Amino acid sequence: MRDSALRYYWLGMAVLLLDLASKWAANAWLTLHEPLPVLPHFNLTLNYNTGAAFSFLAEAGGWQRWGFTVLAVVMVAGLLWWLRRLPPRLTCESAGLWLVIGGALGNLVERIYDGRVTDFFDFYWGDWHYATFNVADVGISVGAVCLIVHEFWGRKRQEVSQ
């Protein structure tokens, strides 16, 4: 583990723990579907999602719980294999992978335990509301951006230095 990017597991674990703690707090302190205003254009609003992003397949009848569970396990295993092959330094690529893993595990734990995912970040403009989301979703999104940045800029820098 020392000679690969697996040594930065703490980044994924930080996302996982922050996600689970924030979901616990949202369930303890918020009321379902009742917005709690925080800032202009931002509320905390408790929602549950049995589907994937933007409630994709939320009404699929229940099979999606285990389908998304298997998908997450396979994805995390693949990303860990990818990390194992990376050098032992924290780069945009390895940080991005750990952020995605932490977020995927956060949603996976809750999906296995509850059959749904707790969402509570609610951004809006007028009557338009973006889909509610959670810390795990932020980790996955920021991690994906890191991977895209690495692909377009980091990889070119690596090729030039070799």
| Average pLDDT of span 97-108 | 96
Query: Strand order in 36-39's β-sheet?
Result: 36-39, 42-49, 117-125, 128-129
Single out the catalytic residue among 19, 122, 127, 137: 137
Question: Is 119 noted as a catalytic residue in this protein?
Answer: yes
Q: What is the domain range of residue 132?
A: 5-161
118: helix, strand or coil: strand
Q: What one-character DSSP code corresponds to residue 51?
A: S
pLDDT, one tens digit per residue, over 72-91 is 899 999 999 999 989 888 88
Q: Helix (H) and strand (E) counts for the chain?
A: 5, 4
Tokens 């549950």 sit at which residue? 48
* Tokens coding 71: 């998908």
Binned at pLDDT 50, 70 and 90, residue 62 comes out as: low
Residue 55's pLDDT is what?
Answer: 53
User: In the prediction, which pLDDT does 12 show?
Assistant: 96
- Residue 161 pLDDT greater than 80, yes or no: no
Whether residue 16 contacts residue 143, with contact meaning beta carbons closer than 8 Å, is answered with no
- Asked if 137 is an active-site residue, the reply is yes
DSSP H or E segment with residue 98: helix 92-114
pLDDT(133) > 90: yes
| 48 — pLDDT class (breaks 50, 70, 90) | very high
In this prediction, residue 56 carries a pLDDT of: 47
Q: Name the band, by pLDDT with cuts 50, 70 and 90, for residue 61.
A: low
pLDDT score recorded for residue 123: 96
pTM: 0.86
The active-site residue out of 3, 119, 122, 127 is 119
2 vs 34, which has greater pLDDT?
34
Question: 3-class SS at 136?
Answer: helix
- For the chain, give the mean pLDDT: 87
Number of domains in the chain: 1
